[in-house]
Amino acid sequence: MRIATVSSSCPFTITDSDWNIKGFFDFNGDSKSDILWENISTKKTVVYLMDGGTLSSAGTIYSNGPLWNLLIPMDK
């Protein structure tokens, strides 16, 4: 019995250690997990919209601000 199987991998090289993955969610409704990133120094928040192991597009949600707090969304 197989509990989990890795069907693909997506190697990202991160050279700035201030970037952290905050979670994996379906932001665009395609039933595939996307990646939510946050830079802990600048508070910049970016979403990588994924197509399996391929980055299909990326966008900044928020760019800066000392009063910004990221709330993690929950998939239903």
**What is the rounded distance in angstroms from the CA atom of residue 37 to the CA atom of residue 10?**
15
Residue 1 has what pLDDT?
44
Residue 69 has what pLDDT?
66
Picking from 18-27, 43-52, 57-66, which range would have the lowest pLDDT averaged per residue? 57-66
**pLDDT band, very low/low/confident/very high, at 65 (cuts 50, 70, 90):** low
**What is the rounded distance in angstroms from the CA atom of residue 22 to the CA atom of residue 60?**
14
Q: Structural domain boundaries of the chain?
A: 19-62
For the stretch 1-41, pLDDT in tens is 455 555 555 556 677 889 999 889 998 999 999 999 988 88
